[in-house]
């Protein structure tokens, strides 16, 4: 057996295929038959089986490495997949057969145990990159919405004490490099080289193994929250309300009032629940892209730069301050975001709970129709968050009213740093 664990003293810097030796598990991206498409094999214990660059678990692969290095985890430990199957089966949808529609996740990622049972039984280390489970949500704002009679208890979607029944899916990224390059309008060679260089040479196979087309990037993935009948999501005859939300720990979890993230997220959940209760479905996509994918350290530096600048924190200088610190205004690059919608088989979103023009353009540009755009209700916007809201409206955010004028932007001012 080759899975004999780490071999001390033997460091494999990069794997080269033997002369003319093909990859053991070739991948035909976009093939709708899993046997032809092939499994995603990111094992670190059987190098000969690998057909991807990187390893499973995104950034958590580094915690796994710490667990192995400290002796807490046996490196050849394999997941026991008994009873881990999805609670509902998604797909296959026609989009799965389009190699260009989905390039940043594995559409078969939740079906590994079923589709590749024979290979798993042979000892091939194939891991799910998607998991689908059920949950009940207790959200204080929604319990208040029931007391305020905006939401009603139906015993099915909204349970007796105001808890909400959902299906949720966690999705780890799997990048098909030729498709990613095409989305960003760069050559695959340039993309691979830049990924290699900008990670400090972390993944040499990006440049030494052009025959490997898949990459498991060390970044966060996505979580989907589904309200109502999941079969309604891909059925254009039934209504779908959807919010695509980018992570904001400060507001989402801690209730910080400098932005509208949590109020808009909770409003999105409320709208999704209402759609589900009316016989359609609701979907919240939560993307791990903290601080516009620039991270929280950058975000907090920007907050200080905004609050301390001459003239105070104004909507007029909002984007400028981010750019000063980070070099860009935004690194979320919504080009990859619609992939998960295509994975779900979505062709139309009836109510899109987002004001972001970047998200709207990415989704409609990928061929999904959007009906109504739902802005955040004005009474949910914290006063300190008006700086961000007005700046974004001026920059192209969807708003049913006229966008703010230059003098409005100069007049919209946030709390000074001394007053927290
Ligand atoms: Zn926020």
The DSSP code sequence of 175-237 is: EEHHHHHHHHTS-HHHHHHHHHHHTTS--THHHH-TT--EEE-SS--EEEEEEE-GGGTT-TT
In three-state secondary structure terms, 281 is strand
Looking at 262, 330, 339, 351, which residue is catalytic?
330
115 catalytic? Reply is: no
Q: Is 76 left (phi over 0), alpha (psi -120 to 50) or beta?
A: alpha
- Helical packing angle, 318-326 and 296-308, nearest 10°: 130
Q: What share of the chain is helix, strand, coil (3-state, %, to 5)?
A: 35, 15, 50
141 CA distance to ligand 1 middle (Å):
17
Q: How many C-beta atoms lie closer than 10 Å to residue 137's C-beta?
A: 17
Cα angle 140-142-146, degrees, rounded to a multiple of 5 = 115
At 87, give phi and psi (nearest 5°): -75, -25
**245 Cα to the center of ligand 1, angstroms:** 10
Extended beta strands in 208-342, E state = 214-216, 222-228, 240-246, 281-287
**What's the N-to-C CA distance of the chain in angstroms?**
61
Name the maximum alpha-carbon separation found in the chain. Answer: 72
* Cα 27 to ligand 1 centre (Å): 39
**3-state SS assignment for residue 133:** strand
**102 and 345 in contact (C-beta within 8 Å)?**
no
- φ and ψ of 109, to 5 deg: -60, -25
User: For helices 386-394 and 318-326, what crossing angle results, to 10°?
Assistant: 90
Ligand 1 geometric centre to CA of 302 (Å) = 13
Its pTM stands at 0.93
Tracing tokens 């309300």 back to the chain, one arrives at 241
- The Cα–Cα gap between 294 and 328 comes to 9
In the residue annotation, 332 being an active-site residue is answered as yes
Taking CA atoms, 353 is separated from 121, 348, 357, 388, in Å, by 44, 13, 12, 18
Rg (alpha carbons) of the chain, rounded to whole number: 23
For residue 4, count other CB atoms closer than 10 A to its CB.
Answer: 10
Side by side, which strands form the sheet with 240-246? 130-137, 164-171, 222-228, 281-287, 240-246, 348-352, 369-373
Question: Among candidates 326, 294, 51, 53, which has minimal Cα distance to 191?
Answer: 53
pLDDT in tens, 358-416: 999 999 999 999 999 999 999 999 999 999 999 999 989 999 889 999 999 999 999 99
Using alpha carbons, list the distances in angstroms from residue 136 to 97, 242, 261, 276: 33, 19, 21, 15
Both tokens assigned to 229: 């009948």
Tell me the CA–centroid distance for residue 390 and ligand 1, in Å: 14
Q: Tens-of-pLDDT digits for all 420 residues of the chain?
A: 344 444 555 666 665 555 457 899 999 999 999 999 999 999 999 999 999 999 999 899 999 999 999 999 999 989 999 999 999 999 999 999 999 999 999 999 999 999 999 999 999 999 999 999 999 999 999 999 999 999 999 999 999 889 999 999 999 999 999 999 999 999 999 999 999 999 999 999 999 999 999 999 999 999 999 999 999 999 999 999 999 999 999 999 999 999 999 999 999 999 999 999 999 999 999 999 999 999 999 999 999 999 999 999 999 998 898 899 999 988 888 999 999 999 999 999 999 999 999 999 999 999 999 999 999 999 999 999 999 999 999 989 999 889 999 999 999 999 999 888
**C-alpha of 391 from chain center:** 25
User: Ligand 1 centre and the CA of 246: distance in Å?
Assistant: 8
Report how far ligand 1's centroid is from the alpha carbon of 419 (Å).
Answer: 19
Question: Distance from the CA of 253 to the center of ligand 1, in angstroms?
Answer: 10
Distance from residue 358's CA to the centre of ligand 1 (Å): 16
Q: How far is the CA of 260 from the centre of ligand 1 (A)?
A: 6
| Phi, psi of 233, rounded to the nearest 5 degrees | -60, -45
Instruction: List the catalytic residue out of 332, 339, 348, 410.
Output: 332
How far apart, in whole angstroms, are the C-alpha atoms of residue 234 and residue 108? Answer: 17
Instruction: Provide the pLDDT for residue 21.
Output: 72
The 10s digit of each residue's pLDDT in 77-129 is 899 999 999 999 999 999 999 999 999 999 999 999 999 999 999 999 999 99
Residues facing 168 on adjacent strands: 133, 225
């Amino acid at each position: 057996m080759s899975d004999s664990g780490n071999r001390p003293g033997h460091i494999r810097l990069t794997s080269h295929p033997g002369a003319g030796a093909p990859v053991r598990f070739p991948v035909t991206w976009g093939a709708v038959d899993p046997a032809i498409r092939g499994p995603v094999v990111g094992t670190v214990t059987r190098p000969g089986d690998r057909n991807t660059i990187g390893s499973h678990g995104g950034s958590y692969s580094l915690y796994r490495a710490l667990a192995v290095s400290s002796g807490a985890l046996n490196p050849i430990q394999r997941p026991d997949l008994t009873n881990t199957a999805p609670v509902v089966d998604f797909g296959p949808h026609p989009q799965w057969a389009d190699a260009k529609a989905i390039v940043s996740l594995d559409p078969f990622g939740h079906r590994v145990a079923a589709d590749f049972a024979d290979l798993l039984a042979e000892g091939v280390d194939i891991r799910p990159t998607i998991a689908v489970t059920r949950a009940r949500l207790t959200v204080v704002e929604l319990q208040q919405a029931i007391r305020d009679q905006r939401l009603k208890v139906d015993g099915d979607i909204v349970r007796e004490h105001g808890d909400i029944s959902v299906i949720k899916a966690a999705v780890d990224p799997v990048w098909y490099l030729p498709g990613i390059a095409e989305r960003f309008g760069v050559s695959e060679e340039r993309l691979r080289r830049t990924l290699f260089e900008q990670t400090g040479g972390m993944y040499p196979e990006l440049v030494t193994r052009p025959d490997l087309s898949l990459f498991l990037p060390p970044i966060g993935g996505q979580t989907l929250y589904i309200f109502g009948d999941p079969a309604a999501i891909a059925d254009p005859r039934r209504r779908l309300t959807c919010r695509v939300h980018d992570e904001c720990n400060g507001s989402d979890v801690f209730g910080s009032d400098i932005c509208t993230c949590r109020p808009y997220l909770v409003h999105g959940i409320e709208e999704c629940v209402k759609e589900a209760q009316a016989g359609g479905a609701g979907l919240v996509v939560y993307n791990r892209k903290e601080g516009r994918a620039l991270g929280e350290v950058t975000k907090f530096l920007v907050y200080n730069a905004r609050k301390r600048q001459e003239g105070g924190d104004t909507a007029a200088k909002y984007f400028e301050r981010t750019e000063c610190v980070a070099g860009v205004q935004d690194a979320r690059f919504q080009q990859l975001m619609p992939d998960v919608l295509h994975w779900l088989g979505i062709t139309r979103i009836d109510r899109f709970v987002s004001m972001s023009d970047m998200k709207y353009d990415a989704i409609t540009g990928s061929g999904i129709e959007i009906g109504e755009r739902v802005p955040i209700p004005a009474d949910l916007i914290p006063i300190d968050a008006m700086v961000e809201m007005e700046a974004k409206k001026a920059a192209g955010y969807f708003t049913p009213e006229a966008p703010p004028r230059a003098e409005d932007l100069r007049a919209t001012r946030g709390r000074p740093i001394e007053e927290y």
